[in-house]
Structures are given as C-alpha cells and as structure tokens.
Amino acid sequence: MKTRTLLAVVTGFIFLAMIAVAPIAAQKAPEVLKTGEYTAKVKAITCGGCGPLIKRTMEGMKEIGSVSVDSTNKTVQFAVKKDASIKLVDLQKALDAAAKGMGMGADYTLLDLKLAK
C-alpha cells in the first residue's frame, strides 16, 4: 500500500512537471519573426516545383527578403527585412495555401525554426 502511494505521488509529480514544461516547449518557435535571418526545415518537399514555389511564395511577402530553398535537405533560409516583422501564423498560412495548390502530399509546414543571425 505504501509503495502504491509513493508511486501515485511520483506519477503526480511527473505529470505536473510535464504540464509545466509543455507551454515552454510549445513557445520555442517565435510567434513574431523580427528582422534577421532564419533557417527552418520544411515538412514535405515532394517535387522539383516545390522549392521554386516556396521561394516565390515567401519572396512575395513584403516583410521577407531573399529566400533560398534546399530541396535535397528540405530546408529553407530566409531573411525578414530591416524594420519589418511578420507573424509566423501569417507566413505559415501563405505557405499552406501554396502547398495546397501544389498538392501531391506537399506540406510546407516550417519546423525547427531558428534565428540564424
């Protein structure tokens, strides 16, 4: 019975710790991208047309400067212009629309987004 109580307490602690840590982990990617250079992984680049489409889509946004896509490694590098900022959700929305247009399982969800400099 004592072991069971101890187990319950330990399980409870682990559960609480997970609840406390989850929002921190979820917030890791910045919600607003400020001026700077970023790198990210792209979830699914499925054909030779995806790279140019991602580049065209992102460069079409006034806040974003040059974009380069590495289709082999499924990564994208881009810059947010000086004195500009863009919400990640807005950028992702544009990319999702582009991926939908591409079809064939393309998914331009940005993963592992990091500020490069």
Positions that interact with Cu ion (CB under 5 A): 46-47, 49-50, 102, 106
The smaller minimum CB distance to Cu ion, of residues 44 and 84, is found at 44
Among all chains, which residue has been given the structure tokens 């840590």? 21
List of residues 6+ apart from 50 with CB closer than 8 A: 42, 69, 71, 102, 106, 108
Q: Are strands 32-44 and 75-87 parallel, antiparallel or unpaired?
A: antiparallel
Could you tell me the smallest distance in angstroms from the CB atom of residue 90 to Cu ion? 22
Could you tell me the smallest distance in angstroms from the CB atom of residue 107 to Cu ion? 10
The smaller minimum CB distance to Cu ion, of residues 46 and 92, is found at 46
The smaller minimum CB distance to Cu ion, of residues 6 and 47, is found at 47
Could you tell me the smallest distance in angstroms from the CB atom of residue 49 to Cu ion? 4
DSSP designation for 47 = S
